[in-house]
Structure 1
Amino acid sequence: MESRVLTGATAIRGLPLLRKPAAMFTANCSFPALKPTGAFKDGGSLMWGKQLRPAILLEASPASAVSPLSKRESLPPCLAAASSQAEGNDSAGPIGFFEKYPALVTGFFFFMWYLLNVIFNILNKKIYNYFPYPYFVSVIHLFVGVAYCLVSWTVGLPKRAPIDSNLLKLLIPVAVCHALGHVTSNVSFAAVAVSFTHTIKALEPFFNAAASQFILGQQIPITLWLSLAPVVLGVSMASLTELSFNWTGFISAMISNISFTYRSIYSKKAMTDMDSTNLYAYISIIALFVCIPPAIIFEGPQLLKHGFSDAIAKVGLTKFITDLFWVGMFYHLYNQLATNTLERVAPLTHAVGNVLKRVFVIGFSILAFGNKISLQTGIGTSIAIAGVAMYSFIKAKMEEEKRQMKAA
């Protein structure tokens, strides 16, 4: 996705630079009424001075059909002087913090993404230790996120993007796969150690490559397939000696990998100019409605009979409610911030970020819960992560070469 930083921008390509006349010229010159050459419609939302996946449509106007004039030859003297001063201000004007330190800002985004992700995983697992109902907790994750989106739309941060029936049809398969992958991930988190679930989820690139090759018909280079061999080997080694291993956790994590793979496939078919913040909000709303029926069917009777009462007896009503609220908030914020962060960087940085994120989550979860792992599990996890890093680097390099070829 392409991102554009609008903070401090002075002109949009194809539009003349419109500025207020300098005070020194207003006394001697009379300015005709200026009509805008276009109006913005259905624009993307602004977040931290940045526009995500903009869909800016310019209304045609008679002025846009007029050939551009030379500033020095065609403008009146006072207008030409004012324009010249405006250009001088552009070159010497103050530079905003975001433009002056872009690497620092991007680093802060990465830090917050990792921090929120680690907090979510630790809090999520702590809830399962006294409230083992992953279907219901999955609904809470999405419910809190949807509530957050609705409040954000109400105050106009961001402005809600319109949606029609055609776009809804495209987003439903994406949201269904998102819901299934989310629920099965939580079933795995509840059944086994967080570190083991993330080790299994390291296989996701393997499923993505297989789907691209055998479903989409895309030719996957042999180098990519070879880079996935350590991932499969490492996950196999870790699974054989994982102390928390059980089939529910393992199979659920594998289903999650498949679900997110199909989500990627449907996402490519549902490419849209809607900004990522609004897009993720709509997907969350649809996914919430998908997750509610299974939670009622599989866990509803148990929750009403003893699930809620047992949890309240163990930690108290206040802590139970606040834990559910904050785990849902952290889930939504880390996903949204991940999208915003990865849109700021190149594909190779994207790859590094995703790999390091998994390393951070595995490491901090082991420290937080004191999970004991065997030497073979540790070696297998390291090999799997190294394989994911190799795969990500090769794929990112290929995408960058394709982009440069298209640009040329």
Structure 2
Amino acid sequence: MDSSSSSSIPWSTIWVVISWYSSNIGVLLMNKYLLTNYGFKFPVFLTMCHMMSCSIFSFVGIQVMEIVPFQSLQSKEQFVKICVLSLVFCFSVVCGNVSLNYIPVSFNQAIGATTPFFTAICAYVVSRKREAWLTYATLLPVVAGVIIASESEPSFNLLGFIICLSSTFSRAFKSVLQDLLLSSEGEKLNSMNLLLYMAPMAMLVLLPATLLMEKNVIQITVDVARNDIKIMGYLVFSSSLAYFVNLTNFLVTKHTSALTLQVLGNAKGAVAVVVSILIFKNPISMIGMCGYALTVLGVILYTEAKKRYSSNITN
């Protein structure tokens, strides 16, 4: 058999990966533009728009277009578990959007790259799950890189740093909780069906939060739209991208593997940093770039160590 033809990557997979990169980086840049450059300082309302979009598109994608088979809930206990996941998911997304008010996308991505570190901590605290010592060792450069990047970040903001760190921790905590709460065969949901249930729940939580924390935001948005109708296009575009991030994430995993998704995610973070610097012209030091590169290297080593540890257990 011709090795070149057997190892070639299908065009469908390439387009899915490109779409995943574009939607991920696009929603980050769009949110940053709206919240800082455009001056639409309502991150909770923006997140609610995202969840509304995810609710609508998920329903259409699963029930109408049948992208994946519909999975119904099996019990009240499963419903309660998904509610808990929705709250954590909601907190993570809100914190991520709020942090963009204070720190540049490049620094946001550097902090976000520490997700494996927090995942390992949460897995041990919640379920006493241990990794090989080599896996834990690879997390040292992940943390060290962010510390270096933080120390030399020209646009460093302590509040933004703490909020982004909270978002990263919540994202890691959600992944551990998801494995723990939906671990039985009868409760497992694919990511698209899980989003179908989680997005409306998150939207119901965000609606009163928006009305309490960002009073008159709807009236303000209407008033802004009267003078600049582009704001509506920005909100719709940002909200649509938020759904396509989840859709393409699912498709990349389907066309490749969860491990490949992690590796591609590492590269995506680096691309997002470069693109954001080129677009927003935020200052960044050479030491900061080295710190972020160290973090990415650590995540790559972590992924490789996890892969080897898993294969050894299997064998």
- TM-score, with normalisation over the residues of structure 1? 0.69
The answer to whether the Cα contact below 8 Å between 2:118 and 2:173 also exists between their aligned partners in 1 is no
Contact 2:182 2:188 in 1 (8 A): no
Name the one with the larger helix percent: 2
Out of 40, 43, 56, the position equivalent to 1:131 is 40
Name the CA shift for 1:311/1:126 in 2 (closer, same or farther; >3 Å): farther
Q: Using the alignment, how far apart are the partners of 1:213 and 1:226 within structure 2?
A: 15
1:296 equivalent among 199, 205, 211? 211
Q: Which residue of 2 aligns with 1:177?
A: 88
| 8 Å contact from structure 2 (residues 58, 195) kept in 1 | no
Match of 2:191 in 1: 276
**Aligned-residue CA RMSD (Å):** 2.3
Change (3 A) 1:157 1:226: same
Q: Any unmatched runs of 5+ in structure 2?
A: 1-5
Q: Residue in 2 aligned with 1:17?
A: none
Contact 1:347–1:396 (8 Å) recurs in 2 = no
The answer as to 2:202 corresponding to 1:287 is yes
Q: 1:114 aligns with which of 9, 21, 40?
A: 21
**Secondary structure, counterpart of 1:373 in structure 2:** coil
Task: Report the AA paired with residue 141 of structure 1.
Answer: H
1:373 corresponds to 2:284: yes
Partners in 1 of 2:307 and 2:7 — Cα distance? 27
Deviation at 1:309, TM superposition (A): 6.5
Q: Is 102-111 or 233-242 further displaced after alignment?
A: 102-111
Choose from 29, 41, 49 the match for 1:140: 49
Aligned ranges for residues 151-230 of structure 1 at < 5 Å? 151-153=60-62, 155-158=64-67, 160-164=70-74, 165-230=76-141
Query: Contact conserved, 1:200 with 1:254, CA < 8 A, in 2?
Result: yes
The answer as to whether partners of 1:237 and 1:377 remain within 8 angstroms in 2 is yes
Letter in 2 for 1:131: F
Distance change (3 Å), C-alpha of 1:380 and 1:168: same
Distance (Å, rounded) in 1 between the aligned partners of 2:71 and 2:171? 25
Identity of aligned residues (%): 24
Preserved contact between residue 351 and residue 392 of structure 1 (Cα < 8 Å): yes
Specify the code of the residue in structure 2 equivalent to 1:270.
Answer: L
Higher relative contact order (CA 8 A, sep 6+): 2
Structure 1 contact 348–393 (Cα < 8 Å) conserved: no
Residues 1:149 and 2:58 aligned together: yes
Give me the whole-angstrom Cα distance separating, in 2, the residues matched to 1:309 and 1:343: 40
What amino acid is aligned across from residue 144 of structure 1 in structure 2?
S
Q: Residues 309, 108 of structure 1: CA spacing in aligned structure 2 closer, same or farther, 3 A cutoff? A: closer
> Aligned partners of 1:345 and 1:151: how far apart in 2?
25
Question: 1:270, 1:282 → 2: CA distance?
Answer: 13
Aligned residues: 302
Question: Displacement, 1:152?
Answer: 3.4
Change (3 A) 1:386 1:299: same
Per-residue CA deviation, residues 335-373 of structure 1 (Å, 9 max, x unaligned), is 221122123324542331111111111111111111110
1:254-269 equivalence runs, <5 A: 254-268=165-179, 269=181
2:103 & 2:223 partners in 1: Cα distance? 21
d(CA) in 2 for partners of 1:347 and 1:162?
24
Question: Residue type matched to 2:203 in 1?
Answer: L
2:3 aligned residue:
none
Match of 1:250 in 2: 161
Taking a change above 3 Å as real, the CA distance of residues 223 and 365 of structure 1, as seen in their structure-2 partners, is: same
